[in-house]
Each structure stands twice: as structure tokens, then as C-alpha cells.
Amino acid sequence: MKNSILAIETSCDDTSASVISDGIIKSNIVSSQVDHTKLGGVVPEIASRGHQKNIIYIVEKALEEAEISRKKLDAIAFTLGPGLLGSLLVGSTFSKSFGYALNIPIIGVNHLKAHAFSHTINKKKITYPFVSLLVSGGHTQIILIKSYDKMKIIGETRDDAVGEAFDKCAKILGLDYPGGPLIDKLSYDGNKKAYSFPDTNVDGYDYSFSGIKTSFLYFINKELKNNPDFIKENLNDICASIQSKLISMLMLKLVKVIDDFKVKDISICGGVAANSYLRKKIFNLSESKNVKIHIPEMEYCTDNAAMIANYAYYMYKDKIFSDFDVVPYSKHKIE
């Protein structure tokens, strides 16, 4: 196997390792830390301890599944940021030590860029320029991509990410974490027009999701005062209505970007890309605006090391390596 890279992703609560050889993913192991489900969200300190515990086993599994020995690796890639600092430190320190011991280059990868390119995994064709809508529990961004190393954030959330808004609304309804997929499922049998919520949009291409979450909380509390069984009796309609609101907020800015920047290719990535109503709206948009939609396979939508490996492969080909004194960054940035 030629040009083999081991990639490690530890930006949040999932420990993941992947091997890519000549641009093709040979393994992608993801271990989710189930503890956070019970805790109602990701607890940074618990997440970094979880990575410490898991990382060796996940890496061994990734190498084993790819049928490659560590001595055959040509580089070690890892998520440099953004993400939770304690989590990033585990992955980056491990990768540096591994690269140092094997005497091979290391490649620090921007997590957001890796997400934006996740639909190109396994050498899928790319058409530039394209716009990437990155929607997850940690990110909500519209990124304009002119080449693999030239991209610009056009719009982003000023507060909560859309996945976070899904999860917080679900929590208000007493649903488990992460609530996004549950709201999606419950919405199937609901009427999305049953309840309406005020517009909390901000100017330009940016998003804001904290206002809608607050008005949802006030709405539920008010209804519960009149009828303590309000949630139980109307759960499907409530879910369909709030889902419709959140997705229409996402679509509004995406349409604006498509019109203003005249792009013809759109990629959707991140955990919320799994949302069935978003997918429906996006495919309608593709017909009405004559744009091409690219959605990564499900396993590459959520956080995974294969997307880090994929982006690292582009960097490797251009010999873009990191220095061994490189340090992770927690804040969202695309340099």
C-alpha cells in the first residue's frame, strides 16, 4: 500500500482513527463515549479522559482493519482544531509522539475543512467552487470553497449551533441526548404548521439560534401552565413545528448565498445533515435552483477520522506538514 496515512480525530467526544492509502479509506473506527448521553451533553473533562482511555485501542483497531503495520505508515494526521482543548491535546500529543517515534511527518488538519470535504472521500469528483453547509452540534457555517486550500466562511452562527438548538429543544421536551435524531423521528407523524415561532434571524449570512431556543422554552412553559399534559398530547406536532422552524432558518441563508454567489454545487455535512426534513428541503432546492447537492455517506456525516485522513491526503500530496511544536486551537477558524 502506498502513501498510507493514519489519521486521528479527537475534537469532541468521539475517539476515531482511520487509515487512508492512495486516497482510499481502508478503515474508520469511531468510539462514542456513551457516558455523555446520561449526562445530557458533552462534559469536556470527561471527554478528554475518555480519549486517553480509548486512543491506543482505537488506533490498533484501525491499523488492524486496514491490514497495515505501523512501520508502513508514511504520515500521521490529526485534528488540530477547532474543538475542546483537552480532547484535542490527547489526539495531537499522541500523534506527535507516534510520528516522532516512527520518524515520519505529522499533518495537523482543520476539522471544519475536513468536514467541508467529507463528500469527496474515496476520490469522489469535486467541482470548484462549491459551498458547504456545515451543520452539527458544534458548528453552523456556510463555507465558500474555491480549492482545497482556499476557503472562506461566508456565514456562521453567532451563538448556538443548530444541532445544539435541536438538542436543547429536545431537552425541554424531556427527550434524551442527543435529541436531534429523536425530534426528526417524532416529526414524521406531526403537523409542522401546528405551532409557529417568532423570527429570530440576524442580518447578512449569519445565523443565531439562541433566541429561538428561548422562545421555544417560554412557549412550552406557557402551554404547560394551561395543560400539564401538553407535551405528551402534542409531542409529534411540537417536534414537527420546531424542526420546520430550525430547518427553514438554515435554508433562508443558504438560498441567499446560492443567489448572491451564483454557486452551482452545494455540500451538506455534519450530524444535522442526517435530518430528513433538511434533506427534503435541500433536494427541492436542487430542482428549483438547478444546483447539485453532495451529501457524504452517513458514517462520514458525524465526527470521524476518515474525513481527517481524506483532507490530510490532499495536504500530503502537496507536502504540507506540521512542525512538531504545533499546538491545537480550540476556537473556530479557517485560516
Binding site for ligand KG4 (CB under 6 A): 12, 136-138, 163, 166-167, 178-181, 184, 270-272, 274-275, 302-303
The position carrying cell 488506533 is: 59
Enter the C-alpha cell of residue 47. 471527554
Nearer to ligand KG4, 177 or 195 (CB): 177
Interaction of residue 14 with Zn ion, rule CB under 5 A: no
Enter the C-alpha cell of residue 65. 482493519
Interaction of residue 164 with Zn ion, rule CB under 5 A: no
Question: How many Å apart are CA 45 and CA 49, to the nearest integer?
Answer: 6
| Residue 62: burial class (beta carbons within 10 Å; 0-12, 13-18, 19+) | buried
Residue 178 partner contact from ligand KG4, Zn ion, none using kind-dependent CB cut-offs of 5 to 8 Å: ligand KG4
Residue 184 partner contact from Zn ion, ligand KG4, none using kind-dependent CB cut-offs of 5 to 8 Å: ligand KG4
Enter the C-alpha cell of residue 252. 433562508
Q: Which range, of 98-106, 129-137, 178-186, 318-326, touches Zn ion by CB under 5 A?
A: 129-137
Beta-carbon contacts of 62 under 8 Å, excluding residues fewer than 6 positions away, are 6, 17, 18, 19, 27, 28, 29, 305
Q: How far is the CB of 303 from Zn ion (least distance, A)?
A: 5
Q: How far is the CB of 296 from Zn ion (least distance, A)?
A: 12
Nearer to Zn ion, 245 or 332 (CB): 332
Question: How many Å apart are CA 188 and CA 147, to the nearest integer?
Answer: 38
Nearer to Zn ion, 99 or 138 (CB): 138
Nearer to ligand KG4, 166 or 207 (CB): 166
Q: How far is the CB of 71 from Zn ion (least distance, A)?
A: 31
Interaction of residue 13 with Zn ion, rule CB under 5 A: no
Interaction of residue 156 with Zn ion, rule CB under 5 A: no
Question: How many Å apart are CA 194 and CA 187, to the nearest integer?
Answer: 11
Q: Which range, of 68-76, 102-110, 228-236, 297-305, touches Zn ion by CB under 5 A?
A: 297-305
Long-range pairs, 223-231, Cβ under 8 A, ≥24:
231/173, 231/174
Contact with Zn ion (CB under 5 A) among 273, 281, 303, 304: 303
Closest CA to 167 of 210, 130, 120: 210
List interacting residues with Zn ion (CB under 5 A).
136, 303
